[in-house]
C-alpha cells in the first residue's frame, strides 16, 4: 500500500470517526429536545385537565367538567377510577389504557408506547382527593411528527457524512499527491542512478522547491551519494594498490623460481630473494589485517603503564643499525613520562615514523627524536632533514596506499603504503592524534600527541 493511499485512508478515517461522533451527539441532542418539548406539552395539558376534574361523594368523576376542554392540538386522554374502571375517554372509542404500566405505577411517569399502529408519548398522573386516591389520569400525544423529524435528521446526517468523507478523501488524495510529488521525483532519480550504476549523478534540487523537509531529504541523499562515491573510488584505488603491492613480490618469486628451474640448480641468492619477498608479503598481509581490525573497531590493546622515555630510547637503539653511519639518529629531548597504553602498538608507531625518516633522509642527514610534556599530553616528535612532503600531499598521507607526487620537480610518484594509516589508527585508539609539519627541502616533523590523563583511574600520570 502506497504512502499516498495510507495517508488518504488515515485522514478520511479520522474525519469519518469525528463526524460519526458529532452526528450521533447531534441526533441524540435533537431527539431529547423534541421529546422534552412533547413532555412539557403533556404536563401543561395534564394540569389543565386536573384543574377541571370534579369528584362526587361516591368518588365518581363528573364527565361534564371536561366537556368544554378544547386543547390546541390532538390530545388523547383517559380518566380511570381507583377500581381501574374507565370514567372518561377522548376520543370516546378509546377503551384500552393508553399505558397499562402507568395505571399501576403509583406515581407520575412518562412512557413512549405503541398503541395499535400509533406511537404515543403518555403521561400517567395519579389523582388524589381529601379522601385518598381516586384514580389515574393519562394524557398522550402522537410521536409521528417527532419520528419523521428524527428520520429526516438521520438521513441528512448520513448524507452529510458520505458527502464530507468523499470530499475529504478526494481532497486528501489530490493534496497528498501534490505534496509527495517531490518524493516521487527523488525516488525516480534514485532508481535511475541505481540502474545506471553512476554514483557521480545527483538528484536535482529545484529552485521552486520550498518544502524544508524535502530540501533536507534531497540534500542528505546527495551527501550520501557523494560519500558513497568517495568510498567507492577509495575502495577501488585500495584494491588496485593492494594488487600492485602483491604483484611485485609475486613476480620476483616467480622469476627466481623460473631461473632455478632453467639452471637446474638451487641458487642461494635466489632463495634469499624469495625469502625476502615472502617476508614482505607476510608484513603486507599482517598490515592489512591490522588495518581491517582498526577500522572495524576491534583492535585489541593491552593497556598497561608505558614509560615513554624508555620506549623512545629502545626505538633509537634498535634503529641505529638501520641509520648506519651515513645518517645521524639522536634524541634531542627526553622527559620521563608514563601513560597507560599498549607498549607494542606504540612501539610500532615509532618504528614506522623513524623508519620513514631514515628512508627519506639522504646520507649525511639527521633524524631527531624528542619527548616532552605539553599541558595534559605527551608529545613525541620525529624530525628529519629529508626532501619534505608537498603541501598538497599533506592532507592525504594517512590514507592507505596514497601515492604522492614526490619532491617538487619530480614526476615519479612515491607511495606511503599502510604504515602511516596504521600508525594513525593506533594513536587514535589511545585517544591521541598525529600532527605533521613539512616544508619542501627542509624536512618533515611528525608529532604524536598522547593524553597523559589515565582513562581508567581518571587522574593524571605523574610526569
Residue 186, pLDDT score = 77
DSSP element (H, E) containing 414? strand 414-415
Residue 295 has pLDDT above 80, yes or no: no
Residue 296 has pLDDT above 70, yes or no: no
Residue 92, pLDDT score = 78
Q: Is 439 helix (H, G, I), strand (E, B) or coil?
A: strand
> Per-residue b/e over 214-249, b at no fewer than 16 CB within 10 Å?
beeebeebbeebeeeeeeeeeeeebeebbeebeeeb
- Mean pLDDT (the chain, rounded): 83
Residue 239 has pLDDT above 90, yes or no: no
Among 20-24, 82-86, 212-216, the range scoring the smallest mean pLDDT is: 212-216
pLDDT band of residue 298 (cuts 50, 70, 90) is low
Residue 254 contacts residue 246 (beta carbons within 8 Å): no
Residue 207, pLDDT score = 56
Residue 443 contacts residue 384 (beta carbons within 8 Å): yes
pLDDT band of residue 72 (cuts 50, 70, 90) is low
Residue 251, pLDDT score = 84
Residues 381-401, mean pLDDT to the nearest whole number? 86
Residue 347 contacts residue 412 (beta carbons within 8 Å): no
Domains of the chain: 3-150 (3.30.450.20), 231-295 (1.10.287), 304-451 (3.30.565.10)
pLDDT digits (tens, 9 = 90+) for 427-441: 998 999 999 999 888
Residues 295-320, mean pLDDT to the nearest whole number? 86
Residues 49-54, mean pLDDT to the nearest whole number? 83
Among 24-28, 32-36, 158-162, 438-442, the range scoring the smallest mean pLDDT is: 438-442
Between 148 and 206, residue with greater pLDDT: 148
Q: In terms of Cα–Cα distance, which of 67, 44, 43, 45 is closest to 54?
A: 67
Residues 338-345, mean pLDDT to the nearest whole number? 91
In the block, which residue shows the cell 478515517?
Answer: 13
Amino acid at each position: 500500500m502506497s504512502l499516498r493511499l495510507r495517508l488518504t485512508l488515515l485522514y478520511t478515517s479520522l474525519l469519518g470517526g469525528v463526524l460519526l461522533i458529532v452526528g450521533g451527539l447531534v441526533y441524540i441532542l435533537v431527539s431529547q429536545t423534541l421529546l422534552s418539548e412533547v413532555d412539557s406539552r403533556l404536563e401543561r395539558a395534564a394540569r389543565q385537565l386536573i384543574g377541571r376534574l370534579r369528584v362526587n361523594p361516591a368518588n365518581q368523576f363528573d364527565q361534564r367538567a371536561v366537556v368544554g376542554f378544547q386543547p390546541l392540538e390532538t390530545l388523547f386522554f383517559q380518566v380511570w377510577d381507583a377500581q381501574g374502571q374507565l370514567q372518561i375517554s377522548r376520543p370516546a372509542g378509546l377503551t384500552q389504557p393508553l399505558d397499562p404500566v402507568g395505571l399501576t405505577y403509583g406515581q407520575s411517569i412518562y412512557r413512549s408506547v405503541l398503541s395499535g399502529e400509533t406511537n404515543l408519548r403518555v403521561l400517567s398522573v395519579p389523582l388524589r382527593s381529601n379522601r385518598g386516591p381516586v384514580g389515574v389520569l393519562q394524557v398522550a400525544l402522537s410521536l409521528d411528527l417527532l419520528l419523521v423529524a428524527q428520520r429526516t435528521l438521520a438521513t441528512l446526517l448520513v448524507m452529510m457524512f458520505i458527502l464530507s468523507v468523499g470530499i475529504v478523501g478526494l481532497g486528501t488524495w489530490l493534496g497528498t499527491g501534490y505534496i509527495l510529488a517531490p518524493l516521487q521525483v527523488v525516488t525516480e532519480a534514485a532508481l535511475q542512478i541505481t540502474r545506471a550504476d553512476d554514483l557521480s549523478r545527483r538528484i536535482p534540487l529545484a529552485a521552486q522547491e520550498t518544502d524544508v523537509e524535502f530540501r533536507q531529504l534531497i540534500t542528505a541523499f546527495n551527501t550520501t551519494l557523494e560519500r558513497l562515491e568517495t568510498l567507492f573510488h577509495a575502495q577501488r584505488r585500495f584494491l588496485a594498490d593492494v594488487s600492485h603491492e602483491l604483484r611485485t613480490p609475486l613476480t620476483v618469486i616467480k622469476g627466481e623460481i623460473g631461473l632455478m628451474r632453467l639452471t637446474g640448480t638451487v641458487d642461494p641468492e635466489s632463495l634469499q630473494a624469495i625469502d625476502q619477498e615472502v617476508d614482505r608479503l607476510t608484513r603486507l598481509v599482517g598490515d592489512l589485517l591490522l588495518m581491517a581490525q582498526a577500522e572495524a573497531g576491534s583492535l585489541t590493546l593491552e593497556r598497561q603503564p608505558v614509560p615513554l622515555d624508555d620506549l623512545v630510547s629502545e626505538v633509537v637503539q634498535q634503529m641505529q643499525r638501520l641509520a648506519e653511519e651515513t645518517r645521524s639518529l639522536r634524541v634531542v629531548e627526553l622527559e620521563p613520562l608514563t601513560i597507560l597504553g599498549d607498549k607494542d602498538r606504540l612501539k610500532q608507531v615509532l618504528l614506522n615514523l623513524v623508519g620513514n625518516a631514515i628512508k627519506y633522509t639522504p646520507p649525511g642527514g639527521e633524524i631527531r627524536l624528542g619527548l616532552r610534556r605539553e599541558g595534559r599530553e605527551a608529545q613525541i616528535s620525529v624530525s628529519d632533514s629529508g626532501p619534505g612532503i608537498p603541501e598538497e600531499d599533506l592532507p592525504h598521507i594517512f590514507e592507505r596506499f596514497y601515492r604522492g607526487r614526490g619532491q617538487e620537480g619530480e614526476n615519479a610518484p612515491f607511495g606511503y603504503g599502510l604504515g602511516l594509516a596504521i600508525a594513525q589508527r593506533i594513536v587514535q585508539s589511545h585517544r591521541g592524534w598525529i600532527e605533521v609539519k613539512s616544508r619542501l627541502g627542509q624536512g618533515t616533523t611528525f608529532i604524536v600527541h598522547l593524553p597523559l590523563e589515565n582513562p581508567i583511574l581518571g587522574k593524571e600520570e605523574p610526569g
